[in-house]
Every structure is written in C-alpha cells, then in structure tokens.
Structure 1
C-alpha cells in the first residue's frame, strides 16, 4: 500500500474522492441504511455538475438501489436505479461488527454490480481504519481506500 494523498477535513475527503472518480460513468455507493446514506449524499455532491450517474445500495440489497439526485435542498435519495456500475464505493459502516455483514457476501455483491464493465474501480471510504481493523483489505480487492479520522470537541460556552 502506498499513500498517494494526504488531506484534512470534509473538503479534503471530497476533493480526494472527486479525483478518484473523475473518469467514472456510474458510481454506486454501498452502505448501511441511515448511517452511511448521508455520507454518500455528501460525496455525491461533488459530482452534481458532472455527467456521472450516482446511486446508493442499502446494505447489500442490490434490488433496492436508488439514484442520488441533485435537488434544491442538496443531494438526496431518489427513484429506483439499475445497480450495475463501473465504480463502487464501499462505505465503512458496512464493516462495523454490529452490522453482521460477511465480507464474502460483499465480494459476491461487487462481482454482480461490476459485471459487464470494461474498466472497474472499487473504493473504500471509512473512518478510523475500519476496513483494516475488520480485515476487509485483501478479501476485498480495493483499488483505493480513503481513510479518515475525526476529532470531536464538545464545548460548553
């Protein structure tokens, strides 16, 4: 593994992501319903003015794939969409132990989504090395991982 970029904050995460998917035709996010959905919408925001089609699959239920569309209120989950794509973004919530998602099911899911694409990319986006600590690197053939940390301060004023 080789670090190809270091950045800070949400802006750094979004800029890194946009650079990785700039040549994609269709990006499909896969994440836990509820927890990962807002992260997919935030990352999709940087693609709003591009011809790249974007969607979200909750958990590993391909048949429930939805478009992520630009609205006056920002990026939001829209109508049903075909789940096939050339780029898949796995969100770290999937690897959280309490989600009970087997990495072998993820591998099969990826094969199904990427089926028929000539050029494919698999990106992991997580916080605090979730894919590494849960041993998903290796079993999942990631092309890139964007790993972030988050410092939190609660201040009483």
Structure 2
C-alpha cells in the first residue's frame, strides 16, 4: 500500500480524516462499545456539519446518531446507518473482540447500500488492520494508521 500522506499527532489524524471524507454527506462509524466510541466522537468533531452515526460492533439495527452538544460530540437517538462513507475503527480488529473481518465487511456493505460513491476508511493504531490481515479481506479505500508514543514522567 502506498503512503499518500504523513502527519503527526491528533491534529494529523483529524486533518487526514477530514480530507478523505470531503463531499460525503453521511458518515457511519463502526467500532467496539466504549473503546472506539470516543474515537468516533473525536473524528466526528471535524465533520460535525454532516449526518453522523455510530454502530457498536455489528449491531446495524441499533445505530445511534452522533451530534454536537454543549459538552461536545455525543451519541444520540437511533438513526438510519446508511451512509456515503463507513469508517471501521481499529478496536474491531482486536482478537479478543471476536469480530471477523468478513462480518465487518458485510456490515460495511449494508451501510453503503444505495450509495453511488461509497468509501470504506479504516482508522487504527499500530497497524491493527494489517497485523490482523483485515486489509486482505476488506477493500479499504484508505487506512489511517497511527502509532502512539507514550511517556510517563515523574515530577
């Protein structure tokens, strides 16, 4: 896979994401409950002028809206999960979650039904999709892959 852009930090992830979804009116994030939800809300912040949804794991029928509130991005009421862009979040690929790439591909297909210019974007840390070989099963249009460096300082 060719690298088309490099950047750093949270701003780099957000700016990269925003440029990849240019022109999309509806975006649906799919991720694990708890772990991926804040990442969907964070990514959703830079495209808060669009219709956004979150599907917890593979529960298509229980998609929730993501909206801007006084406190920030929040999950809202049940909503239609169909979209122009589906964003698969890397927590899905963690082996202990128990979701196969084939099942995630099927959920992505359902989300994109009726979309003429549908895209599948993966957002992961430390090459999760590649390490678990999801990129060999799912026809991602793009993957935003980031690494985390962690320092704990005692002061």
For the pair 1:103 / 2:101, whether they are aligned, the reply is yes
The alignment partner of 2:139 has SS state of coil
For the pair 1:43 / 2:36, whether they are aligned, the reply is no
The alignment partner of 1:137 has SS state of helix
* Residue correspondences, number: 155
The alignment partner of 2:136 has SS state of coil
For the pair 1:29 / 2:29, whether they are aligned, the reply is yes
Per the TM alignment, residue 94 of structure 1 is displaced from its structure 2 partner at its CA by 0.1
With the length of structure 1 as denominator, give the TM-score of the two structures. 0.97
Unaligned 5+ segments in structure 1 are none
With the length of structure 2 as denominator, give the TM-score of the two structures. 0.98
Q: Deviations over 1:1-53 (max 9, x none)?
A: 111110000000000000001210100000000000000000000012x3x21
Query: Distance between the aligned counterparts of 2:143 and 2:152, measured in 1?
Result: 29
Q: Deviations over 1:46-94 (max 9, x none)?
A: 012x3x2111000010111000000011101111110111100000000
Unaligned 5+ segments in structure 2 are none
